[in-house]
């Protein structure tokens, strides 16, 4: 049985993960409309990952006898001037999510919720990867500056990303 404090915290995270999905889907849609198909693909796959993260929390709450409470999701930003701006926003967002996961770990420790601690270890590791991926894209875009050829090359590489 899950405790109320942990259930509330995990429900907040479910909704945060769905917001992340919306944010990345908005980035994907923006770049698709600008014919940056590679950036659109990368952010679409990222959105799909965020949905799977939300569902991991959802499943954990249900399996532990809790109730999932979905809340209103704020509309994300709709447009980014450059791929670099989107990459920087993605990196900042992943840093925020990492802080949220760390707070969940602290709550699980305080509540002596060992099942939640075990489940959260997957997310701790996942956030290392999430930050590394968005940081790498940001740094590469900074290196190439406004080189059109460089941006198209990165767009091509990002278009190869597959889910899973």
Contact present, 122 and 56 (Cβ < 8 Å): yes
For 145, how many CA atoms within 13 A lie in the half-sphere containing its CB?
2
Mind listing the pLDDT tens digit for each residue in 52-69?
999 999 999 999 999 999
Closest CA to 80 of 69, 91, 70: 91
Helix (H) or strand (E) holding 82: none
Going along the chain from its start, the domains and CATH numbers come out as: 4-158 (1.20.1260.10)
Q: How confident is the model at residue 163 (pLDDT cuts 50, 70, 90)?
A: confident
96 pLDDT band, cuts 50/70/90, is very high
Q: What's the whole-number mean pLDDT along residues 17-45?
A: 98
Rounded Cα distance, 161 and 16, in Å: 24
Distance CA 26, CA 31 (A): 9
Using pLDDT thresholds of 50, 70 and 90, give the confidence band for residue 103.
Answer: very high
User: What tens digit of pLDDT does each residue of 107-151 get?
Assistant: 999 999 999 999 999 999 999 999 999 999 999 999 999 999 999
């Amino acid at each position: 049985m899950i405790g109320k404090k942990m259930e509330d915290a995990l429900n907040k995270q479910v909704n945060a993960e769905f917001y992340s999905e919306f944010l990345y889907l908005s980035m994907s849609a923006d770049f698709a409309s600008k014919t940056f198909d590679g950036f659109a693909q990368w952010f679409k796959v990222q959105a799909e990952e965020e949905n799977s993260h939300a569902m991991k929390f959802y499943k954990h709450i249900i399996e532990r006898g809790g109730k999932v409470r979905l809340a209103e999701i704020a509309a994300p930003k709709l447009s980014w001037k450059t791929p670099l701006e989107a990459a920087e926003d993605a990196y900042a967002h992943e840093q925020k999510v990492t802080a949220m996961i760390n707070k969940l770990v602290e709550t699980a420790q305080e509540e002596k919720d060992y099942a939640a601690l075990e489940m959260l270890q997957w997310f701790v590791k996942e956030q290392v990867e999430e930050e590394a991926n968005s940081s790498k894209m940001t740094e590469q875009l900074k290196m190439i500056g406004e080189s059109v050829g460089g941006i198209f090359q990165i767009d091509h590489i990002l278009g190869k990303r597959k889910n899973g």
